[in-house]
Amino acid sequence: MADNMENLEKNILDYETVALDIEKYALVIIDQTQLPGRIELLSLTDLKDIWEAIRLLKVRGAPAIGVAAAIGIYLAAEQIGTDDPQLFYEEFRKAKNYLAGSRPTAVNLFWALDRMEQVVRTHLPEGTAEIRRLLQREAIRIHDEDIEVCRRIGEHALTLVKPGDGLLTHCNAGQLATVKYGTATAPMYLGQERGYDFHIFVDETRPLLQGARLTASELHAAGMDVTLICDNMSAAVMKKGLVQAVFVGCDRVAANGDTANKIGTSVVACVAKQYNVPLYVCAPTSTIDMTLGTGDEIPIEERAPEEITEMWYETRMAPESVKVYNPCFDVTDHSLIAAIITENGIARPPYKEAFRKLLPKPLPSAYNENINV
């Protein structure tokens, strides 16, 4: 069951986006659907509640989803009521497949679940008690690694900009999408620590307003110089020369460098190309899916029409029965991307060859058979 706790006195950055409460055997997340007006922590112990939290965007952002999935499958393993290794593995697989069906696009979800399953397969002869202990350790490791990965992305990204630059970002690839620093915002946080005095433009990012509700909130809370703009204003600020670089995150990268990110990213990329502003994708290597040749193969999640017609309005803002197309992501063609920044270095075209040098080992394939678009 979900255990709701509220504290409005603390800053949003005082909380971890996603964490394991070892004493309570719970996944603790900030409920991002309540932001920015309310900071609410959810303590989740039931697999169904964790699935729902991922599906309903209570926890979101590819890295944070991966961490939540790792913790969630560990908690599921603790609740498997058998000490027979083979039966345990069968139940573990059921729980894993269930969690994998929560969101289709973010490859970190499948990457984290595959990594946790590898622990089970490798240590099956050692018994279920040892497997549970090792799963807990692996979930904590995935959590801690995310912080270091984001910091290293930020270090590489800082080499591409200079103090005083204007930066633009779309959606939320910030601390709220990770454990700390964020991906696209990592250079902004590190720059803030080092006196770079960036001016940051944040797209509001319709239809879910994650730029307005989340990115603007967290960067403002961190004391950065932030200006919120509507999605259709990016050309205006770029034409005026107010933006020297665009940093965005991603949910999946194909082998050729095509990148799926929050809907509208491809529009920003086209505008940036027009005004000779480099667009950089900040991508942990865990988001690079070498099993997909191009972005055409990336499954794109479609969401409820009400997110466009009703969600942010006192009364419905569109005619009843009007058709609605509401994809959650779009794919930015690799030709529009100046570079893809990973924790292991900066990849430039041709991306397939660059990725092979940066990836420490082949990534596990995503579980596309579990996807319902």
DSSP state letters, 306-342:
HHHHTTT-SS--S-TT-----BSEEEE-GGG-SEEEE
Q: Which residues are catalytic?
A: 251
Amino acid code (one letter) for 55: R
Q: Are 13 and 218 in contact (CB under 8 A)?
A: yes
Smallest CA-to-CA distance from 189 within 198, 178, 179, 202 is with 198
DSSP run (H or E) holding 89? helix 85-100
Other Cβ atoms less than 10 A from the Cβ of 291: the count is 14
Q: Are 208 and 57 in contact (CB under 8 A)?
A: yes
Other Cβ atoms less than 10 A from the Cβ of 86: the count is 9
Amino acid code (one letter) for 204: E
Measured CA to CA, the distance from residue 145 to residue 252 in angstroms comes to: 19
Q: Are 266 and 333 in contact (CB under 8 A)?
A: yes
Measured CA to CA, the distance from residue 2 to residue 61 in angstroms comes to: 21
Q: What does DSSP say about strands 199-203 and 166-169: parallel, antiparallel, or unpaired?
A: parallel
